[in-house]
């Protein structure tokens, strides 16, 4: 079965750029979706179709893709961005869901 | 605004069956463009997709859990449900229900707030 690999943690200082990667064989055939989960809360979607932002998500959030690796990029990181971030994709049929292991973003 | 709310017992004994219900409000569970799904998150760990169901009945289960799962839909109550049989302490988790968009761009656009289920005697 397919797996998505994320780094367990990323740390940046306020104002810097954070890059969270996700690697796996669904890419590039399938798109990546990114969720932000703050402590004690349900996840929320912050990026879809790899590079599209839902309404309400700051422009500081963007996505990129290169072969079998996709990335969530957060420019000008703020303290409020501290959270766990999960990538998600599916198998080729679009029905079996795969999550990455999650990356904890720490704002120093 | 669509809302999802999980309900069920917060404590289940080992070897018994965990049963949860998700009530959908603000929209119909019978929409043709969506699956309805369960996701779990053990304490301190990541998200794990459990399975998805379409209102018309097709179900898709995580292969690692498939032998212990049953999902169902009750369109009259706008609810869908999950059963996990023969639970162990490893099944202790926050369980989320969610709406999963079908088609070319499949993702979860709505989530419930989650319910903690502890497996313990």
Check CB contact of A94 with chain B, cutoff 8 Å. Answer: yes
Q: How many CB atoms lie within 10 A of CB B92?
A: 18
DSSP secondary-structure letter at A90?
E
Task: Yes or no: say if A96 and A13 are a contact pair by the CB < 8 Å rule.
Answer: no
Q: How many CB atoms lie within 10 A of CB B87?
A: 18
Q: Which tens digits make up the pLDDT trace of A16-65?
A: 999 999 999 888 888 899 999 999 999 999 999 889 999 999 999 999 99
| Beta-carbon separation of B109 and A45 below 8 A | yes
pLDDT score of B60 more than 80: yes
Q: Which tens digits make up the pLDDT trace of A70-104?
A: 999 999 999 999 999 999 999 888 889 999 999 99
Check CB contact of A57 with chain B, cutoff 8 Å. Answer: no
Which residues from A are below 8 Å from B46, CB to CB? 84, 86, 99-102
Report cis status (omega within 30 of 0) of the bond before B77.
Answer: no
Which residues from B are below 8 Å from A90, CB to CB? 106
Ramachandran bin of B103, using left for φ above 0, alpha for ψ from -120 to 50, beta for the remaining angles:
left
Terminal CA-CA length for chain A? 36
Which residues from A are below 8 Å from B63, CB to CB? 1
Check CB contact of B112 with chain A, cutoff 8 Å. Answer: yes
**What are the helix (H) ranges across chain A?**
none
> What is the C-alpha to C-alpha distance for residues B57 and B34, in angstroms, rounded to an integer?
12
Task: Yes or no: say if B12 and B117 are a contact pair by the CB < 8 Å rule.
Answer: yes
| Percentage above 70 pLDDT, chain A | 99
Please tell me the predicted confidence (pLDDT) of residue A1: 58
């Amino acid at each position: 079965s397919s797996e998505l690999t994320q780094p367990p943690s990323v740390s940046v200082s306020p104002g810097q750029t954070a890059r969270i990667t996700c690697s796996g064989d669904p890419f590039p055939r399938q798109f990546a979706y990114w969720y932000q989960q703050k402590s004690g809360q349900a996840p929320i979607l912050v990026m879809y179709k790899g590079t599209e932002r839902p309404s309400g998500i700051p422009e500081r959030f963007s996505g990129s893709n290169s072969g079998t690796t996709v990335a969530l990029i957060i420019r000008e990181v703020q303290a409020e961005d501290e959270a766990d971030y999960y990538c998600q994709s599916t198998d080729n049929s679009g029905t079996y869901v795969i999550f990455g292991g999650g990356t904890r973003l720490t704002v120093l | 605004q669509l809302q999802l709310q999980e309900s069920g017992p917060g404590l289940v004994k080992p070897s018994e069956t965990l049963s949860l219900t998700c009530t959908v409000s603000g929209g119909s569970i019978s929409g043709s463009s969506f699956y309805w799904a369960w996701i779990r998150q053990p304490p301190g760990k990541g998200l794990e997709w459990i399975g998805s169901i379409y209102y018309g009945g097709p179900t898709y289960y995580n292969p690692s859990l498939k032998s212990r799962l049953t999902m169902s839909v009750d369109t009259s109550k706008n609810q869908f449900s999950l059963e996990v049989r023969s639970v162990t302490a490893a099944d202790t988790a926050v369980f989320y229900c969610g709406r999963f968009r079908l088609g070319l761009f499949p993702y979860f656009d709505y989530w419930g707030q989650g319910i903690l289920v502890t497996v313990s005697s």
